[in-house]
Amino acid sequence: MASGGDARFFARGKVAELRAELNSDKKDKNFAKKKITLKKIVANMTMSNNDMAALFPDIINCMEIQALEIKKMCFLFLVNYGRMKPDMAQRALPILIRDMDDHNPLVRALALRTMSYIHVPQFVEATVAPLRHLLHDPDPYVRKTAAFCVAKLYDHDRDLVEGARDDNPTVVASALVALMDIWERNENIRLTIDHTNASKIVQILPDCSEWGQAYILEALMAYVPQETTEAVIMAERISPRLQHSNSAVVLTCIRVILYLMNYIADQKEISTLCRKLSPPLVTLLAKGPEVQYLALRNALLILQRRPEVLRNDIRVFFCKYNDPIYVKVTKLELIFMLANEDNIEEVLTELREYATEIDVHFVRKSVRAIGKLAIKIEPAARQCINTLLELVSTKVSYIVQEATVVIRNIFRKYPNQYESIISTLCENLDSLDEPEAKAAMIWVIGQYADRIENSDVLLEDFLFSFQDEPVEVQLALLTATVKLFIQRPTKGQDLVPKVLKWATEETDNPDLRDRGYMYWRLLSADPATAKKVVMGEKPPITAETEKLDPTTLEEMCLNVGTLATVYLKPVNQVFRTARPKRLADSPALQRHTLPTAIAEQAHRRALQPEQQQQQPVEQRTSEEGMGNLLGGDLAAAVDAADDYFSGGGGGSGTNPFAVSGGPVAGGGQYVVNQNAPQPIYSPQQGGDLLLL
């Protein structure tokens, strides 16, 4: 049906004409005319022409013809329409049962496979007895088909489970597939293979077909080593499969070896096995892009569990000009994971090239990778920042915006460092039109408002379109304006009332409104606390957030080579009915090396310093806080906030946040509202470092 000449059969046929051709009394040498008619029927069936179901009686008559090609097409018709017309399908049952005793093994296997495909109770019951007999058929092809039918019968009726043993490698592989399928479908059944049986099935690996080898390796995941030497021996015995030409065999072998490593105590043996895993993964990158992508996604997983596997192979992940975008992006992730102090110059040179390519999505990813490397590798932070500044100087809009976002994260990682680059960012404000980039730049202005002389002017420019901006930008503007007011009250006194009024009275977004009320009440209640909360020291960010959760990583390593690893999600999130895999307990299991155990130990170590440093802290009075931390002008301004809001937004036309008076000659001092205490405020020395 696949040849070019068979295209003529794919024309919508009429039932009456096809029936007449099937029942024609004309001489038909070798049933040639019947074969042509059956091909037309199968073609119409493929095109979802359900009118063909009316030919059921005629097809059953053709099943009596002793010609394998005709039987194949008739059985295909039966499988397709058997559930639609179960009563009619039962008329074919005696013929199928008779064919299972045919002298031709191909006919026996075909009849058995057809019966197992028809989801009708009578067919399931009728298959049991012949199946028991055919599991011991002299022909291995029939026994292989029977092994697969065990799993199919189990799917129809969970009580029909029979064991299958055989000396033929193909039959053993098929039987193992059936048993694995049954195990996947039922949580009450546990498939275990002891060392003796595992050794036997590994012994027949070279005699199996490539898919048989994949099935046997898959079944070895049910083998639980009881001693660490057993795991080492088994890993060594299957390691030659790493050189197989079939990518499924290679990936399944990698999965089994990674699994067995959990039961090996000797670190030298683990290092040896890790070195063996690297070449086959690299070899897979020479295959087509689809296989490359699967190998790359699995490499992301393996690197998190066993970093030594690909530690020295970063060059093989450099992108080629003709790589599809999904391959390039995944390679970019691997480059980031493998980058270190030794290869950072080479990596930055490569990423700089990527940032000049045509594909905007890939360019953005490359720029973001440079910023993440600055966070990951502290000694190389200055090199990464210089590279980012070179890219910003190109004035390409999407590069500038992506660079702004990552530089914001660099400031969060290294507070009060690299501030000289703020001026470069401020020169490119006109290039920012995306919400994330705007929010990042606004965060920088608010966080460093005391270092940027015209920070109030810059924020005011953004505030012109406050009500038209996305919520992400509005939230950033609200926080940045409050930060400006806390650090430089005289500069922020005109902006805070407007922003708080917009956020609390003129918005429908509950998040924005709630944050506005929080800032208003925080400033009104205790300015000292406001500064501690808003401008308090925050923990620096890290690049470790890119890693998988330890529990997920542990499970995903047991699914290497499967579709779940493409998504890097637990298997039951990808396939709802899939059975999650767990490491089986054993005296040989190295629990202390598992990701979950390592994460728990790290968490305990992180908690110890905090517990030791916890000491009671004396609460300062509100007056001390205002006098020592903030200065009287901020206190006076916040005291007037309630009057402003309770008076409907300052009906008298004056701004109660305003600080009266001006700088005294030679002093840089300000006199505040006469109704409030009269402390003196001195601007912080060196506060305005950037003249923009």
Helix (H/G/I), strand (E/B), else coil: 636? helix
Helix (H/G/I), strand (E/B), else coil: 2? coil
Weakest mean pLDDT among 56-60, 185-189, 331-335: 185-189
Weakest mean pLDDT among 100-114, 395-409, 612-626: 612-626
Cβ atoms of residues 477 and 463 within 8 Å: yes
**pLDDT, average across residues 565-581:** 82
Rg of the chain, C-alpha, whole Å: 37
344-403 pLDDT per residue, tens: 999 999 999 999 999 999 999 999 999 999 999 999 999 999 999 999 999 999 999 999
Q: For the beta carbon of residue 217, count every other beta carbon within 10 angstroms.
A: 29
Q: Given a cut of 80, is residue 556 above it in pLDDT?
A: yes
Predicted pLDDT of residue 643 = 54
Amino acid type, 619: Q
Give me the phi and psi of 451, to 5 degrees please.
-100, -20
Query: Cα–Cα distance between 253 and 279 in angstroms, integer?
Result: 13
473-527 pLDDT per residue, tens: 999 999 999 999 988 888 888 888 889 989 998 888 999 999 999 998 888 887 7
Name the token pair of 439: 């929010």
Closest CA to 562 of 543, 581, 549: 581
Helix (H/G/I), strand (E/B), else coil: 690? strand
Cβ atoms of residues 651 and 601 within 8 Å: no
Query: Cα–Cα distance between 236 and 233 in angstroms, integer?
Result: 5
Helix (H/G/I), strand (E/B), else coil: 631? coil
Closest CA to 434 of 476, 384, 389, 394: 476
Closest CA to 177 of 202, 213, 231: 213
Cβ atoms of residues 335 and 314 within 8 Å: yes
Closest CA to 115 of 98, 96, 138, 130: 96
What is the domain partition of the chain in residue ranges? 192-311+548-593, 313-415, 427-536+631-692
257-315 pLDDT per residue, tens: 999 999 999 999 999 999 999 999 999 988 999 999 999 999 999 999 998 888 877 99
Q: CA angle, corner 655, sides to 649 and 658, nearest 5?
A: 145
DSSP string covering 26-65, please? S--GGGHHHHHHHHHHHHHHHTT-GGGGGGHHHHHHHTTS
**pLDDT, average across residues 639-653:** 48
Does the CA dihedral 301-305-310-312 come out positive or negative?
A: positive
Angle between helices 495-505 and 471-487 (to 10 degrees): 140
Query: Cα–Cα distance between 88 and 79 in angstroms, integer?
Result: 12
Closest CA to 168 of 130, 133, 206, 208: 208
Name the token pair of 554: 């542990």
CA 404: distance to chain centroid?
A: 25
Please report where in the chains the tokens 């304006």 appear, as a residue.
481
Please report where in the chains the tokens 């730049």 appear, as a residue.
441
Closest CA to 429 of 417, 416, 440, 413: 440
CA distances (Å), 520 to each of 377, 642, 644, in order?
Answer: 40, 9, 11
Give me the phi and psi of 441, to 5 degrees please.
-65, -40
